[in-house]
């Protein structure tokens, strides 16, 4: 009579996940390194003032006009306020007014927000607002950043 030796351990029904964890960690490092490179935008130093946020209406399109320190203009057109993207740009007031007037003529309920670099010439900002009014803009808001906490009581 033959007796089979008994195994101390039976077959395991477990999955070895160590290689999957290694791959996941490599992908995490790749995403962490490449994510900061994907951020695009134009750096503007906004003036710091205390102001309340304006209520947003979801069905309106929003045009965010930015005035850079060198006096040039760029803007973003979309369903929400976005200061990082750029749809179009203009170097002078007449070009900006013509392009924005075409947008306003296409859709009259467009909300326009103006933001300007802290170093931008005040006269250039006011001239831009005047050109927006001449282009048919009736609903205008200004964008600022909240001041940094100074720790004073």
Strand extents, DSSP E, the chain: 62-67, 73-78, 88-90, 111-116, 140-142
Q: Which domains does the chain have, with CATH numbers?
A: 62-142 (3.30.420.270)
What is the structure's pLDDT at 25? 94
Q: Which whole number is the average pLDDT over 52-71?
A: 75
140 strand-pairing partners: 112
pLDDT (tens digit, 9 = 90+) per residue, 88-106?
777 788 888 888 888 888 8
Q: Give dist(CA 111, CA 118) in Å, integer.
A: 23
Q: For the chain, what is the largest distance between any 2 Cα atoms, rounded to a whole number of angstroms?
A: 107
Q: Which two tokens stand for residue 140?
A: 């205008």
Strands of the 62-67 sheet, one edge to the other: 88-90, 73-78, 62-67, 111-116, 140-142
């Amino acid at each position: 009579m033959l007796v089979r030796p008994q195994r101390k351990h039976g077959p395991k029904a477990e999955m070895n996940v160590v290689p999957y964890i290694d791959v996941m960690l490599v992908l995490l490092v790749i995403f962490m390194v490449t994510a900061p490179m994907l951020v695009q935008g134009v750096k503007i130093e906004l003036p710091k003032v205390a102001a309340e946020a304006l209520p947003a209406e979801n069905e309106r399109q929003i045009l965010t006009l930015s005035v850079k320190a060198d006096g040039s203009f760029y803007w973003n057109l979309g369903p929400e306020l976005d200061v990082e993207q750029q749809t179009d740009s203009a170097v002078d007031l007449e070009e900006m007014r013509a392009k924005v007037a075409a947008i306003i003529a296409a859709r009259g309920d467009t909300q326009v927000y103006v933001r300007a670099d802290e170093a931008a010439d005040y006269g250039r900002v006011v001239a831009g607002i005047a050109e927006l009014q001449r282009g048919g803009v009736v609903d205008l808001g200004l964008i600022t950043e909240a001041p940094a906490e100074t720790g004073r009581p």
